[in-house]
Structure 1
Amino acid sequence: MLAIFKEKLVKAPKELKSPAAWTKPKLSDEILQQFMRCNSSNAFSMCFGNDALLAYSPSNIHQRLFSGLDDIYCVFLGGLNNLSMLNKQYGLSKGANEAMLIIQAYRTLRDRAPYPAYQVLKELEGSFGFLIYDNMDRTVFVASGSNGHVALYWGIAADGSLVISENLDLIKASCAKSFAPFPTGCMFHSEHGLMNFEEPTKKMKAMPRIDSEGVMCGANFNVDSQSKIQLMPRVGSEANWASWN
């Protein structure tokens, strides 16, 4: 999986950018070309104007799913142990897969649900990482499960675009030193930033990450145990996945 979002659509965390001037990230077009070369037999890509790009290749080793509905697109990695129960809860058929479920949950919460995104993510049992792009609202939503069994990585391309993939080698080659693991147990929204959905009342803190060469390489984001966010209860149609509280 590869996702690239231009800077005017998504503001990447500034801490991801490395000050190492001698290493140069690639441009978005070069990153896509590399992905397609490495997955030439079964990969496809989708461009949404000049601002967003999704590329996908099925895997026979690990579950990797792609689904699109009503101009909402989801790439899901891993699996949910309670998929059947959640399908029933959201009114889906027994045959609906995890990517279909995530789209339905996102759409339900975006449009009418009275509780916040972190509460929904806590209901997902299993190993997972997923990315949603809502082309109608021009919104990006990314989440990674708490157990860390499904790894995602994010970085910054040469043109300032946010790059997301589960392929560490691709991220390293694309973003040079300006990348980091996407933090587990966390969700990122293009308008509201990063939050730990296990501890939603705590702020996230960027910690400089030094690689094996002693060079500052992006940042790790951890829960700041000393911080406190006041969560106000929400009711009615205003509560959705775009709201952290």
Structure 2
Amino acid sequence: MLGIFHPAVAQAPEELHSPAVPPSPGAFRRQPKNPDEILKDFHSAHPGHSFSASFTGGAVLASVDGHAPRTSFHQRLFCSIDDVYCMFVGSLDNLSALIRQYGLCIKSTNEALLVIEAYRTLRDRGPYPADQVVKDLSGTFAFIVFDSKAGSVFAALSSDGGVPLFWGVAADGSVVICDDLAIVKGSCGKSYAPFPTGTPCINPPD
């Protein structure tokens, strides 16, 4: 999965920015890429098996479809409800219990739909701490939620770090979040790092 968010949508923490240090003579230094180049690289890495959606205001979500050759054993989900989009990689051990907690239909609710419902609870029925939403989730997972109406991004990684997830800064200052290290490393120069585990990041709703 890949999420790219313009600085108007999400601000990268200062420590993620690599200082502009001139390279030594004769040394090659990989330069950050623009969002359109990063998206092109993602599609090139998964030819015929990837799709993307672009949003006004400077947000892009891209994912790999279910027919792609397996790059990992984790399931990949992409869904949306009422202009809230979720990309989810991994699984929840307590999915059934959370479905009952949120009063959802067991047969039709998967992890991505559950996360959207948890996000909407955070957004609409606050105050409800963002970190509590993640603490309620038991399993191995990473997800990105984008609320296209509110312009909010809510992303998190399970505390076990079982799903690889990385983030960085593109040439225009956009935040890049992806589970493919090669994409992030090739897109963000030296301004990238492993995504922090156990805590939601970016800008969950107030």
2:197 is equivalent to residue 242 of structure 1: no
Q: How does 1:192-207 map to 2 (within 5 A)?
A: none
Deviation at 1:50, TM superposition (A): 4.6
Partner SS state of residue 7, structure 1: coil
Deviation at 1:122, TM superposition (A): 1.1
| Matched AA of 2:56 | G
Residue of structure 1 aligned with 2:191, choices 156, 178, 197? 178
Residue pair 2:142, 2:163 contacting (<8 A) in 1 also: yes
Task: Give per-residue Cα distances to partners, 1:118-175, cap 9 Å, x unaligned.
Answer: 2221111111111100011000111111111112100001111110001001100111
Question: Structure 1 pair 114/5, CA: closer, same or farther in 2 (3 Å)?
Answer: closer
1:84 equivalent in structure 2:
96
Unaligned runs of 5+ in 2: 24-28
2:2 is equivalent to residue 5 of structure 1: no
Deviation at 1:71, TM superposition (A): 0.2
- Aligned counterparts of 2:48 and 2:14: Cα–Cα separation in 1: 36
2:153 equivalent in structure 1:
140
- Aligned counterparts of 1:119 and 1:28: Cα–Cα separation in 2: 32
Partner SS state of residue 101, structure 1: helix
Residue pair 2:51, 2:65 contacting (<8 A) in 1 also: no
Deviation at 1:115, TM superposition (A): 3.0
Partner SS state of residue 26, structure 1: coil
- Aligned counterparts of 1:107 and 1:134: Cα–Cα separation in 2: 9
- Aligned counterparts of 1:153 and 1:33: Cα–Cα separation in 2: 18
The runs of at least 4 consecutive aligned structure 1 residues that moved more than 4 Å come to: none
2:136 equivalent in structure 1:
123
2:42 is equivalent to residue 35 of structure 1: yes
Residue pair 1:189, 1:242 contacting (<8 A) in 2 also: no
Question: Structure 1 pair 25/114, CA: closer, same or farther in 2 (3 Å)?
Answer: closer
- TM-score (ref. length: structure 2): 0.88
- TM-score (ref. length: structure 1): 0.75
Partner SS state of residue 3, structure 1: strand
Partner SS state of residue 29, structure 1: helix
Question: Structure 1 pair 25/126, CA: closer, same or farther in 2 (3 Å)?
Answer: same
Q: How does 1:63-102 map to 2 (within 5 A)?
A: 63-95=75-107, 96-102=109-115
2:26 equivalent in structure 1:
none
1:162 equivalent in structure 2:
175
Deviation at 1:185, TM superposition (A): 1.0
Identical aligned residues as a percent: 50
- Aligned counterparts of 1:178 and 1:189: Cα–Cα separation in 2: 16
| Matched AA of 1:242 | P
| Matched AA of 1:187 | P
| Matched AA of 1:98 | E
- Aligned counterparts of 1:92 and 1:21: Cα–Cα separation in 2: 54
